[in-house]
Amino acid sequence: MNLGNRANPFAGDLSPQLRLPGNRTFPKRFALHYLAAMTPLLNFSLCLAAAAFVVSCAAPQGGSSSGRDVYGHRPGPKNFQTVIIDAGHGGKDSGAVSRSTGQKEKDLALDTAKRIAAALRGDFKVILMRSDDTFIDLDERVVRANRHGGAILISMHYNSGPSYLRGPETYYWRVDSHGLATRLQNAMAQASSGEYSSRGLVRRRIRLTRNPEIPCVLLEGGYLSNPVESALIAQPAYRQKLATKIASAIRTQAAQGDAGTGPLPRPINAPPSRPTDAAE
Ligand SMILES: [Zn+2]
């Protein structure tokens, strides 16, 4: 952040050429006096600027006059009416493929997304980003999510990594998505089982956690690369259990907002995520 030039009203006035109206200039000794006289004022203005900076970073509402900025530096959502569920990957993009069951992430994510949608209908307006096996670019998913106000975005995925890793994981980036991410991760951990049942929250700036104008999280419902967890995910009853818990967490967030989800994380100013950033 370029604090100095923007916040310091004297930044452009302290050049050696102190010009007066009528194109007169200060004699050099007056210029020095002027500078000496201005120093306390300058210090004061820098203090004010620093204070404003600290306040804007600390306030959960964000620093803009509207209380809302593009980085999502605001408390989490409450009383939202619309839930957008994004099934990860699709079409030419299979996502992860389980070596033990042969199942593809794109199919399992869509199945789980539909189960979450079914569990929420009636209480919310539910929008599926895709309802069949089609490919949608990530930036296009952001554009579509931004068409809806009073909404949240949940992107459903299954994970892949070293075969010993297992357990659900939730990705978030923004302050306004932390409470929701906490609830959803706890919900998935309850559905999961075993010693390594939760891998917790991961704060990562990717396109679907940074770029939408609405609170947004990305769920990894478990590792397809782990034979035990992959066999679990292959069971429709397990995916239903996962979906039911996720839907319940969304309902709780709508009713209670961030209450009980712990302190908000520090805001981080960062540019939108681009295709050249880490894959999701
Ligand atoms: Zn994925």
Residue 193 has pLDDT above 50, yes or no: yes
Are residues 133 and 231 part of one domain? yes
The answer to the question of residue 224 being in a domain is yes
Q: How far is the CA of 103 from the centre of ligand 1 (A)?
A: 13
Share of the chain above pLDDT 90, in %: 66
Distance CA 128, CA 105 (A): 17
Q: Summarize pLDDT for 8-17 with one digit per residue, the tens.
A: 333 322 233 3
The answer to the question of residue 53 being in a domain is yes
Contact 189, 246 (CB under 8 A): no
Are residues 54 and 88 part of one domain? no
Residue 229 has pLDDT above 70, yes or no: yes
Among candidates 156, 51, 136, which has minimal Cα distance to 93? 136
Distance CA 261, CA 266 (A): 15
Among candidates 156, 157, 84, which has minimal Cα distance to 124? 84
Q: What is the mean pLDDT of residues 233-255?
A: 98
Q: Summarize pLDDT for 124-164 with one digit per residue, the tens.
A: 999 999 999 999 999 999 999 999 999 999 999 999 999 99
Are residues 222 and 186 part of one domain? yes
- Residue 249's CATH number: 3.40.630.40
Q: Which residues lie below 8 Å from residue 173, measured CB to CB, with a gap of 6+?
A: 72, 203, 204, 205, 206, 209, 210, 268, 270
The answer to the question of residue 130 being in a domain is yes
Are residues 240 and 124 part of one domain? yes
pTM above 0.95, yes or no: no
Q: At what angle do helices 236-256 and 105-120 cross, to 10 degrees?
A: 50
> What is the pLDDT of the chain when averaged over all its residues?
80
Are residues 200 and 106 part of one domain? yes
Q: How far is the CA of 144 from the centre of ligand 1 (A)?
A: 19
Share of the chain above pLDDT 70, in %: 72
When comparing pLDDT for 159 and 280, which is higher? Answer: 159
Contact 224, 160 (CB under 8 A): yes
Q: What is the mean pLDDT of residues 29-54?
A: 43
Q: How many domains does the chain have?
A: 2
Reported confidence tier of residue 276, pLDDT bands at 50, 70, 90: confident
Q: Which residues lie below 8 Å from residue 11, measured CB to CB, with a gap of 6+?
A: 4, 5
Q: What is the mean pLDDT of residues 232-261?
A: 97
pLDDT at 79: 97
Q: How far is the CA of 238 from the centre of ligand 1 (A)?
A: 19
Q: How far is the CA of 99 from the centre of ligand 1 (A)?
A: 16
Q: How far is the CA of 181 from the centre of ligand 1 (A)?
A: 17
Are residues 159 and 29 part of one domain? no
What SS3 class is residue 191? helix
The answer to the question of residue 65 being in a domain is no
Domain residues for the domain of 45 are 3-58
